């Protein structure tokens, strides 16, 4: 019974021809993005921003699920309507980020392990009671010199698998997010090799914990050269390398794959996702390949909003525009011609 519910929810999230909106930035991350645009970093401004997102007209046409944060899941719009209800009323499934962030890994300077397993069973029950149907946990793997080491990979993948087991026990679909970071000068080949090691370790741990793969969504990075690499490979090379890596390390039983954007520009993320779903590559993967972007879907809207009521409609249009571009990319139908000049108001307005 639980298995059927998990599979139905996972299918709805990734196999309905739509993708996910990640709006689960922690308060420090959200504040950092606000500070960069001169937006005040208050609980009310974070609430106003999340209200803008969840009430954007037309969002439900391209978005299947939205990942919330602990502060946000408890909040409501200005009329007192819970954000969870705003989402479900337009067919968007609410989910929740449940990890408590990455902390330094003992005895391994420069490496991190994501924490949050203590008390997770009880927190999941609370979130399920509020209406969350799925959860997310992010592990961060840096590429730098000899990093990542085996201790970093194993401890993060075991934590992800234990989190996934607890989610399924609670009847919630786990999104497992092992993010190999873009920061650095590494090549696409090195990213592919490390991403393959990380995913192989992850699926071993999921197997050990007895997690039902048909009720799991994988949220990986695309295989990319480092942000500061002098060689920036073309869209098709990135798409082919990503699919090659996934097909070597991800079992076909997994419900679907929903990419993070990781610091790519919004247009590049759409173009790369599109290339993976166009007719030349679509037969090379058994899973739906969708998006679960935060920055690549929110940032143009945030640039537009800048904390001003007068900019809310234009910002919502920018958000829905990106959602539509990524929706088209799921069918291989995205084209640079879809990019309208976004209505970014003057910073002084």
The residues carrying an active-site annotation are 177, 219
Exactly one of 14, 21, 22, 216 binds ligand 13P (CB under 6 A); which one? 22
Q: Does 50 bind ligand 13P (CB under 6 A)?
A: no
The span from the CA of 67 to the CA of 51, in Å, is 14
Exactly one of 14, 241, 260, 315 binds ligand 13P (CB under 6 A); which one? 260
Question: In 3-state terms, the chain is what percent helix, strand and coil (to 5)?
Answer: 50, 15, 35
Q: Does 293 bind ligand 13P (CB under 6 A)?
A: yes
Q: Which window, 39-47, 53-61, 291-299, 326-334, contacts ligand 13P (CB under 6 A)?
A: 291-299
The span from the CA of 254 to the CA of 211, in Å, is 11
The span from the CA of 220 to the CA of 334, in Å, is 21
Nearest to 347 by CA among 297, 307, 295, 299: 307
Q: Does 262 bind ligand 13P (CB under 6 A)?
A: yes
The span from the CA of 226 to the CA of 194, in Å, is 12
Q: Does 295 bind ligand 13P (CB under 6 A)?
A: yes
Nearest to 100 by CA among 113, 88, 89, 90: 113
Exactly one of 138, 272, 306, 321 binds ligand 13P (CB under 6 A); which one? 138
Of 211 and 297, which has the nearer Cβ to ligand 13P?
297
Instruction: Show the DSSP H helices in 253-311 as ranges.
Output: 266-277, 295-305
Nearest to 180 by CA among 124, 140, 148: 140
Shortest Å distance, C-beta 177 to ligand 13P: 6
Size, binding site for ligand 13P by CB under 6 A: 11
Q: Which window, 206-214, 260-268, 279-287, 340-348, contacts ligand 13P (CB under 6 A)?
A: 260-268
Torsion of CA 185, 191, 193, 196, to 10 degrees: 160
Of 5 and 342, which has the nearer Cβ to ligand 13P?
342
Q: Which window, 41-49, 187-195, 273-281, 287-295, contacts ligand 13P (CB under 6 A)?
A: 287-295
Q: Which window, 41-49, 53-61, 254-262, 332-340, contacts ligand 13P (CB under 6 A)?
A: 254-262
CB neighbour burial string for 231-244, b if at least 16 within 10 angstroms, e if fewer: eebeeebbbbbbbe
Of 145 and 320, which has the nearer Cβ to ligand 13P?
320
* Residue position matching structure tokens 């679907």: 256
The span from the CA of 280 to the CA of 113, in Å, is 38
**Contacts (CB under 6 A) with ligand 13P, residues 207-236:** none
Shortest Å distance, C-beta 24 to ligand 13P: 6
Of 299 and 316, which has the nearer Cβ to ligand 13P?
299
Of 49 and 293, which has the nearer Cβ to ligand 13P?
293
Q: Does 257 bind ligand 13P (CB under 6 A)?
A: no
The span from the CA of 212 to the CA of 209, in Å, is 9
Shortest Å distance, C-beta 22 to ligand 13P: 4
Do 76 and 82 form a contact (C-beta atoms < 8 A)?
yes
**Contacts (CB under 6 A) with ligand 13P, residues 145-184:** 177
Report, in angstroms and rounded to the nearest whole number, the Rg of the chain calculated over CA atoms. 19
Exactly one of 261, 270, 277, 316 binds ligand 13P (CB under 6 A); which one? 261
Residues 6+ apart with CB under 8 A from 108: 149, 151, 152
Q: Does 14 bind ligand 13P (CB under 6 A)?
A: no
Residues of this chain that interact with ligand 13P (CB under 6 A) are 22, 24, 138, 177, 260-262, 293-296
């Amino acid at each position: 019974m639980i298995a059927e519910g998990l599979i139905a929810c996972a299918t709805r999230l990734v196999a309905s021809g739509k993708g996910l909106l990640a709006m689960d930035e922690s308060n420090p991350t959200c504040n950092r993005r606000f500070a960069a645009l001169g937006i005040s970093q208050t609980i009310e401004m974070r609430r106003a921003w999340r209200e803008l997102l969840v009430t954007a007209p037309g969002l439900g046409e391209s978005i299947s699920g939205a990942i919330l944060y602990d502060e946000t899941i408890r909040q409501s719009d200005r009329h007192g309507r819970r954000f969870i209800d705003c989402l479900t009323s337009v067919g968007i499934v609410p989910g929740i980020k449940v990890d408590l962030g990455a902390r330094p890994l003992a005895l391994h300077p420069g490496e991190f392990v994501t924490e949050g397993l203590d008390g997770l069973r009880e927190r999941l029950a609370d979130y399920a009671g509020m209406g969350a149907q799925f959860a997310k946990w992010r592990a961060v793997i840096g590429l730098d010199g000899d990093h990542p080491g085996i201790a970093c990979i194993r401890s993060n993948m075991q934590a992800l698998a234990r989190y996934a087991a607890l989610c399924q026990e609670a009847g919630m679909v786990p999104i497992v997010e092992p993010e190999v970071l873009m920061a650095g000068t590494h090549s696409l080949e090195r990213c592919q090799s490390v991403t393959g090691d990380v995913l192989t370790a992850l699926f071993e741990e999921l197997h050990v914990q007895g997690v039902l793969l048909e009720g799991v969504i994988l949220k990986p990075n695309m295989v990319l050269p480092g942000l500061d690499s002098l060689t920036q490979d073309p869209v098709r090379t990135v798409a082919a390398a990503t699919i090659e890596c996934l097909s070597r390390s991800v079992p076909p039983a997994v419900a679907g794959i929903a990419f993070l954007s990781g610091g790519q520009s919004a247009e590049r993320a759409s173009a790369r996702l599109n290339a993976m779903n166009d007719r030349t590559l679509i037969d090379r993967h058994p899973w739906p390949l969708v998006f679960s972007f935060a920055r690549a879907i929110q940032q143009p809207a945030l640039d537009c909003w800048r904390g001003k009521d007068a900019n809310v409609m234009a910002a919502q249009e920018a958000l829905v525009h990106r959602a539509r571009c990524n929706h088209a990319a799921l069918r291989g139908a995205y084209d640079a011609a879809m990019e309208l000049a976004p209505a970014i108001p003057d910073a002084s307005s």
